[in-house]
Structure 1
């Protein structure tokens, strides 16, 4: 655990961000944004050293308590162990951002059953397992902010970066969020989703040829790709205590490339 000399956050709550080890990813930017809002931060990533690196960086920048732990979010025992470590070391969990995910550009006629399952395991099963482990404590304490990372691909039917399996998995998260919002609302827990469009991250870097990227940017009214901060700031807004009347909502973060 990284524990600076400054006092614990005024919120006296922690935020768990999964898949936040990537240096240029949405998860790490979200950890910074939540820490800036006063949350202590727990980073859960399959790469332990990356999780610890994010935790150190966030603690050094914002002066909050942090913890980086390793876990495969598709493994219920690993999830339980990781969350138990967070509960033992940090303030009560008040926010959860299910950011861990993988993508695949494979066309449907070429996708194997194994790849389809792998995409759903990380994106959907992982979000389910982490949420199932954390949500009961939120409901018991009467406060919680859960945010799922979906995608514009789920709303427009692909055509951005991921293939059919990715679009289907991210669409499943929208249904999960909306139904869970109805269940947990009476307990003081909100559940929302964000649906980013083309965002400049480690996942997209180098995987789009310049011509295709230029064509995609030309179709964005704001004239640029999104940044991880564009997404993280919306997540931090949804995680505020003051955002208690927003639940079951999907926030589109795409620069106007998909308007509906």
Structure 2
């Protein structure tokens, strides 16, 4: 049992502040060796998750600090120089800032729930019907064309998938020049949804960055200055929770978002 004692001693040294340590792995393939290897794999996953949380907290703090500091400065000036500051302008600007803060906080709560909450019981969803219904509600903005190929059914959370589709459609209509196209197809084991616009597109080196929280390209900030920068991060979290993928692929023109979800066996 000496290897067990060594594993126990090393485990006792590991703390949340330093998850880089690993337990000693004895040679061989017996139960103790398998336990050590499994423990190290678990520690590696835990270290990656904690590091991700730290980075996310740092990014959130940075994104919230700027609007809060701006709001504080506006209100402080109104108090220090009441005769020089237009109170209505200050209140209007402060209200706009608080609305942006509220949007960021609401999206952060959604993202946190998707990542940490236990998944709801999935239900069969016909993606073709879901897309048709969602597109039919979009009576304003750039026209959206749909192309579906029969019944394509997946298991999932309907509200969450509608949220992803709505986010992609809003983005596509915002950047499109004349039209947006949504298609559903199927491979041997996956449903494939594509949302394509005919706008300026997204450069290859930015196609992964836009899924990170608070990453907003210059064109996106210009077209939607009040956005939170969390829409695509939430969309990827939802699709990942559904055991699928969402990527930006090459297109002759504009941006082409591609979602792949497992079909019901």
Q: TM-score range by the shorter chain?
A: under 0.3
What is the TM-score normalised by the length of structure 1?
Answer: 0.24
Bigger Rg, which one: 2
What is the TM-score normalised by the length of structure 2?
Answer: 0.24
